[in-house]
Structure 1
Amino acid sequence: MPDASPAPRRPVLSVCIYCGSSDAVDQRYKDEAFALGKILGSNGLRLVYGGGGVGLMGESARGAHEAGGKVLGIMPQFLMSRERLYDDVETIVVQSMHERKMMMFEESDAFVVLPGGVGTLEEVIELLSWRRLDLHKKPIIFLNSGGFWEPFFKLVEATIATNFTPESFLRTYKSVDTVEEILGAINELSSHDEDIDTRKVL
């Protein structure tokens, strides 16, 4: 359970990106990841990500680094050979996926979900579940590139239509179509939550 003591509000200084690590994807997705990293770095926001140097993960880190931004990668030891560390940025090596996800959550003030596979889905489902349980109120933004996340949104809507999820849940995240809309969406969700919860989820 999270620490029940009140936590002071803090501004959005670090943004976590959840995204795919595959290199065998359309170049469009890689270009968007690089552009997002560049936007974060140029605006003085630290990028927190999974630590890999491949796929969208690597592109986002390179974009932020080349823009002069701070980057924190968090990599499980057993994935180091598969996802290949990006050595130009700070990286913390942890022992498990659980430890990686917890540290990414604790180090971040907002989350952006880019296209990805099963691993990305697993991460964002847990994040949304914590939000549903009121364990945090950190902004969650989906980059719905070319309608990529539409099937997922339809699944969420189906759980609402069958009364498994309240309709109010739709207000806990926001979808945008372009990278350029992401910072505005983060600011919008941040301004709607007067008490941004920065407590740890344990």
Structure 2
Amino acid sequence: MTESVSQKAVCVYCGSSFGKDPQFSEEARKLGKLLHAMEWKLVYGGGTTGLMGEIAKATMGPEADGSVHGIIPNALVSRERTEDSPADKVSVSSFNDEIKKSVENHNGLTPLSREYGVTTIVPDMHTRKRMMATESDAFVAMPGGYGTLEEIMECITWSQLGIHKKPVVLFNTDGFFDGLLQFIQHAIKSGFISEKNGKIIQVATTAEEVIEKIQKYQVPEGRFTLNWDDEKTIAN
């Protein structure tokens, strides 16, 4: 394995569907393989279909010796577990080859398997997000839908408010986040986001660049310096 400069836990938000561009899955696998090679830990939403499953399995590696922690609410586990799951499958659900690469064909019905790492089942979405944030040293967003956008925007807002100073990276595969980046620039020009806070977000277009952006991240000036005693677990 490639020796890492410093070991980190990276939270990756991404879709439970594959999307229509095969490059999304390819880049998820590349990032997962790189995390595995560097012996970095993946923290993610615990799903096993779509990009979630791709990056989790790739981070675990061919010998399943990687470090992956999936955190999923109980309601979603119930939705994603089949009745005939093998008894020895105990962690995250296995990848279902029969699920086609589209949102419409994703139904989340896959069994649990060790090859996707360790899973923590939590009671609700708020607990899930707090645990993911607390355990992670950096946040990365890959292509996804409403949930992915909501999660990464919350991390950006937390940084703006001074709750944490961890790296935030958009993995802009095939220009997926171009529209969001245009909105951010529009908000800056319109006076709703400062130029300095616009630098909270770093943009990468390759898996290697994601790692580089995390390692070289500089906390921008101009963020709020408020006292968030109740949020210390996220900041640390």
TM-score of the aligned structures, taking structure 2 as reference length: 0.74
What residue number does 1:200 align with?
233
Deviation at 1:109, TM superposition (A): 0.3
Are 2:57 and 1:62 equivalent residues in the alignment? yes
* Identical columns (%): 40
- Counterpart residue type for residue 214 of structure 2: I
Indicate the SS of the match to 2:233. Answer: coil
1:38 partnered with 2:71? no
CA RMSD of superposed structures (Å): 2.0
Larger radius of gyration: 2
CA contact 1:12–1:109 (8 Å) conserved in 2: no
For the structure 1 residues 12 and 142, does the alpha-carbon distance in structure 2 shift closer, same or farther, using more than 3 Å as the test? farther
Match of 1:151 in 2: 179
Match 2:9 to one of 14, 17, 21: 14
Q: CA deviation at 1:111?
A: 1.1
Q: CA deviation at 1:102?
A: 0.5
Is the contact made by 2:41 and 2:66 (CA closer than 8 Å) also made in structure 1?
Answer: yes
Question: By how many angstroms is 1:193 displaced?
Answer: 4.2
In the alignment, structure 1 residue 174 sits paired with structure 2 residue 202: yes
Q: Which runs of 5 or more residues in structure 1 are unaligned?
A: 1-10
- For residues 121 and 51 of structure 1, what CA distance do their matches in structure 2 show? 17
Letter in 2 for 1:121: L
Whole-angstrom distance in 1 between the partners of 2:205 and 2:8? 23
TM-score of the pair, normalised by structure 1: 0.86
What is the CA-CA distance between 1:160 and the residue it aligns to? Answer: 1.1
Question: Where do 1:1-202 residues align within 5 Å?
Answer: 13-66=8-61, 68-83=65-80, 85-86=92-93, 87-88=113-114, 89-189=117-217, 192-193=218-219, 199-201=232-234
Structure with more helix by fraction: 1
Q: State the partner residue of 1:5.
A: none
Q: AA paired with 2:156? A: L
Matched with 1:8 is none
Q: Could you tell me which amino acid in structure 2 is paired with residue 108 of structure 1?
A: S
Give the letter aligned to residue 200 of structure 1.
Answer: T
Q: Give the direction of change, closer, same or farther, for the CA distance of 1:83–1:155 in structure 2 (3 Å limit).
A: farther
1:169 Cα deviation after fit: 1.1
CA distance in 2, matches of 1:45, 1:39: 9
What is the one-letter code of the residue matched to 1:36? L
Counterpart CA distance in 1 for 2:70 and 2:187 is: 34
Greater CA deviation, 103-112 or 170-179? 170-179
| Residues 49, 72 of structure 1: 8 Å contact kept | yes
> Would the alpha carbon gap of residues 177 and 113 (structure 1) be closer, same or farther in structure 2, given more than 3 Å must change?
same
Instruction: Give me the whole-angstrom Cα distance separating, in 1, the residues matched to 2:130 and 2:42.
Output: 16
User: C-alpha displacement at 1:199, in angstroms?
Assistant: 3.3
**Contact 1:19-1:115 within 8 A present in 2 as well:** yes
